[in-house]
Homo-oligomer: A and B are copies of this chain.
């Protein structure tokens, strides 16, 4: 294979410095129109091809957008990615995906790697462990648009697309109360994260509306896993006054709870109602379909992508946009008494 033409070959051909060639190719105003013409002619003659990375290096545009998220194997996250791709691919952007596995140090490394790769923007859902804002400030310092989705950090200069978790939880809990349940427990994940705080808040608001006193014993934090849901349900059912319904902040938690409740012979929804959160596909196709709060992930992805495009199109102007999407409660057998 013939060796690739470099700017040094063009420089040699024209007996000028490589720096001049580089400047000419970059349309630097310090270079005369005549020289630029000669350089472009020589570049064409010698079949010089500007490498995309080289172009990215000069222009700072790679046409790549980095999407960073905790896990790709959750329907919620993969659907957000679908929304982002649907919006960005037709505009010529590539979406490159990285997962943090909820680890702060991985998130920091990934963000640095994306900056090094000259991505045009970063759309991110923050890992559970992340405390530092340093890597996000680096993104801002480089003037790379930073858009949070679902899990955000409050950082001036960044945008976000989130779900109204409070309202989703409020509706789910209210629905359980409307079914006649009066002792509604809440399974949560990590109350240091805003989304779970908001889900707890919505749950409390619904209880208050029905004049039901909040019982801290009815709130259990668990890992988003089936076994944790089973264990938590077991614990709840062993309380002196066990609950008659569970609003779980995750679908896997709800599934685990249902498995335990069935094992101990509870009739769902007659004796006990369960609602999950996320509307993962399995909630529909269980033999006992599980009610769940849908987070509109495709719309969330599309919206995040649109916010990115707005920022790219308005260079020089700082945009800070915070969009809050409304969730939908999908009522299925697990909570439908009537």
Contact = CB atoms under 8 A, between A and B. Distances in A.
B285 A285 contact: no
A106 B19 CA distance: 37
Interface in A64-101: 64, 71-73, 75, 78-79, 81, 85, 89, 94-99, 101
Contact of A56 (B53, B63, B78): B53
A50 to B, nearest CB: 11
Q: Which of A54, A73, A97 has the most CB of B within 10 A?
A: A73
A288 interface: yes
Interface residues on A, range: 35 or more
Contacts of A281: 282
Count this chain's copies in the assembly: 2
A5 interface: no
Interface string A271-298: 0000000000110011110000000000
A116 to B, nearest CB: 3
A53 B141 contact: no
Nearest to A71: B78
Contacts of A286: 286-287
Nearest to A281: B282
Given A52-B113, A53-B117, A282-B285, 16 more contacts: A8-B19, A17-B19, A18-B19, A52-B117, A53-B53, A53-B116, A54-B57, A72-B73, A89-B106, A94-B98, A94-B113, A97-B99, A255-B285, A281-B282, A286-B286, A287-B287
